[in-house]
Amino acid sequence: MTASVPPPGPALAALLASRRDGHALPRDFYHDASLYARELATVWHGGWLFAGFAFEIPNPGDFLTLDIDATPVLVIRGDDGAVRAFHNVCRHRGSQICREPAGHLRALVCPYHSWTYSRQGELVACHGMHDGVDKSALGLRPVHAEVVVDLIYICLSASPPPFGEMRARFEQAGAPQGFDRARIAKSIEYDVDANWKLVWENNRECYHCLGGHPQYVKSNFDIVDEEHASAELRQEIAAALARTNAQWAVADDGAAHPKGGLATFPDADRDLWHTCNRTPLAAGYATESLDGTRVSTLMGDYADADVGVLRMRSLPNFWLHASCDHAVVTRMLPAGPRGTRMKSFWLVDQFAREGEDYDLARLLPFWHMTNEQDWEICRWQQKGVDSVGYVPGPLSQRNEYNVDAFIRWYLKQVRAAA
């Protein structure tokens, strides 16, 4: 993921070596500006990032934009129907070109001096320039883009990591959900005053869920561990899993984490940055809603509600939970050493109509509430780990194995060199 980044200097190398095995990260990991710069260069500029949905930009000229910290990127559908990404930076004197989060354009016209680019990124006009300007050498700088089950991924690196395994996994697991037949019922952006790693670490454990998410834990078995589950509960999970797996097994990743608790992810040793799995819902829950009853019409290939929850994730910036009737996709973008910009998208079937098939008042709360609870947790943790009084504590091997896995994966990325 980090092919062209030189090795860290002595100070950063010392910081990267300072993590004690099995423990949380030391203080400077959560606010050091030079480390953050290295994270941008390695993790964020080196990896595949979820940007948005192909169905958001169905027609030539439709675009969306996003900022990876200070790097603005434009994703646009070209006249040939292909989804492409470009640096959203003019080749003249560098002005940002598109300033809107999304829209439609006949051509890309830089607002500063009107240099004009086609929807394929070619410079087509630069009135007022002298003769001899080679327009063919001044097209917008491309960014790698891939689309899998209508999820658009981009990579800023000149040599992106292989995408094929990810494509195969997401296509196999994601196809039944019908992302290509979905639409966004609502999206919400959240500015979280916390380092992006705190957000991931919190996402990778449910140790906090009983106290932190009283509504969330009723719907699933994330807080159950094999050692402490009763025989009846184990039987309930096994039965629910068997029903779900019979129809919707996710090959390779396993249909679910069979012991309860969170599926193991990531895997630093295998450099595994993407997985999918499907987990059963608790008795009485047809979907992830506050009362467990359905909140919209069925999505994709689902003929009934008994599909559990499809979970897909990719580092460094994407996770989703998809039930029979809706999916909640969450995108993370870094916004400084102490800031993370989150955006959640609530997807429903493309033909579902607000007020008839779904109400936002019933669709949103489960994950909006869970999100806000998590962001609050992260804000307070940032305050604590910023303190000179913070000393990294031990991670629970039973409940925080994925936090440890995330940290090991992360360290591998930022240490990596040419």
* Residues at the site binding ligand FES, with contacts judged by CB under 6 A: 90, 92-95, 110, 112-115
Nearest CB to Fe ion, comparing residues 142 and 214 = 214
Q: Which does 112 bind (CB under 5 to 8 A by kind): ligand FES, Fe ion, none?
A: ligand FES
Taking phi over 0 as left and psi of -120 to 50 as alpha, with beta for the rest, 117 belongs to beta
Beta-carbon neighbour count of residue 300 at 10 Å? 20
Nearest CB to Fe ion, comparing residues 69 and 404 = 404
Instruction: For residue 39, state whether it binds Fe ion (rule: CB under 5 A).
Output: no
The residue number with the shortest CB distance to Fe ion is 374
Nearest CB to Fe ion, comparing residues 87 and 204 = 204
Closest distance to ligand FES from the beta carbon of 114 (Å): 6
Nearest CB to ligand FES, comparing residues 108 and 149 = 108
Q: Which stretch binds Fe ion (CB under 5 A): 67-75, 270-278, 310-318, 370-378?
A: 370-378
Q: Which does 387 bind (CB under 5 to 8 A by kind): ligand FES, Fe ion, none?
A: none
Closest distance to ligand FES from the beta carbon of 116 (Å): 9
Q: Compute and round to an integer the Cα radius of gyration of the chain.
A: 22
Nearest CB to Fe ion, comparing residues 39 and 374 = 374
Instruction: For residue 374, state whether it binds Fe ion (rule: CB under 5 A).
Output: yes
Q: How far does the chain reach from its first CA to its final CA, in angstroms?
A: 10
Strands 318-322 and 142-148: unpaired
Closest distance to Fe ion from the beta carbon of 279 (Å): 15
Hunting for tokens 């806000």 — which residue is that? 372
Instruction: For residue 222, state whether it binds Fe ion (rule: CB under 5 A).
Output: no
Nearest CB to Fe ion, comparing residues 217 and 233 = 217
Instruction: For residue 62, state whether it binds Fe ion (rule: CB under 5 A).
Output: no
Asked if residues 323 and 307 have their Cβ atoms less than 8 Å apart, the reply is yes
Closest distance to ligand FES from the beta carbon of 140 (Å): 11
Q: Which does 93 bind (CB under 5 to 8 A by kind): Fe ion, ligand FES, none?
A: ligand FES
Q: Which does 113 bind (CB under 5 to 8 A by kind): ligand FES, Fe ion, none?
A: ligand FES
Residue 25 sits at φ, ψ, to 5 deg, of -75, 145
Closest distance to ligand FES from the beta carbon of 130 (Å): 14
Q: Which does 374 bind (CB under 5 to 8 A by kind): Fe ion, ligand FES, none?
A: Fe ion
Q: Tell me how far apart the alpha carbons of residues 187 and 356 are, in angstroms, rounded to a whole number.
A: 19
Closest distance to ligand FES from the beta carbon of 137 (Å): 16
Q: Which stretch binds Fe ion (CB under 5 A): 56-64, 342-350, 366-374, 408-416?
A: 366-374
Amino acid (one-letter) located at 245: N
Edge-to-edge strand list for the sheet holding 116-117:
108-109, 116-117, 123-125
Q: Which long-range contacts (CB under 8 A, 24 or more apart) does 253-258 make?
A: 253/169, 253/173, 253/277, 256/280, 256/308
User: How many residues interact with Fe ion (rule CB under 5 A)?
Assistant: 1
**DSSP symbols for 291-321:** SSS--SPPPTT-SSS---EEEEEETTTEEEE
Closest distance to Fe ion from the beta carbon of 52 (Å): 24
Nearest CB to ligand FES, comparing residues 122 and 146 = 122
Residues paired with 314 in a beta bridge: 274, 318
Nearest CB to ligand FES, comparing residues 95 and 187 = 95
Question: Which of 244, 242, 232 lies closest to 278, judged by CA?
Answer: 244
- DSSP H stretches of helix in 227-346: 231-248
Q: Which does 295 bind (CB under 5 to 8 A by kind): Fe ion, ligand FES, none?
A: none
Nearest CB to ligand FES, comparing residues 116 and 187 = 116
**DSSP symbols for 102-141:** EEE-SSEE-TTT--EE-TTS-EEE-TTPPTT--GGG-SPP
Q: Which does 110 bind (CB under 5 to 8 A by kind): ligand FES, Fe ion, none?
A: ligand FES
Asked if residues 150 and 53 have their Cβ atoms less than 8 Å apart, the reply is yes
Residues paired with 393 in a beta bridge: none
Q: Which stretch binds Fe ion (CB under 5 A): 33-41, 146-154, 310-318, 374-382?
A: 374-382
Q: Tell me how far apart the alpha carbons of residues 347 and 331 are, in angstroms, rounded to a whole number.
A: 13
Q: Tell me how far apart the alpha carbons of residues 381 and 202 are, in angstroms, rounded to a whole number.
A: 10
Residues found near Fe ion in the complex (CB under 5 A): 374
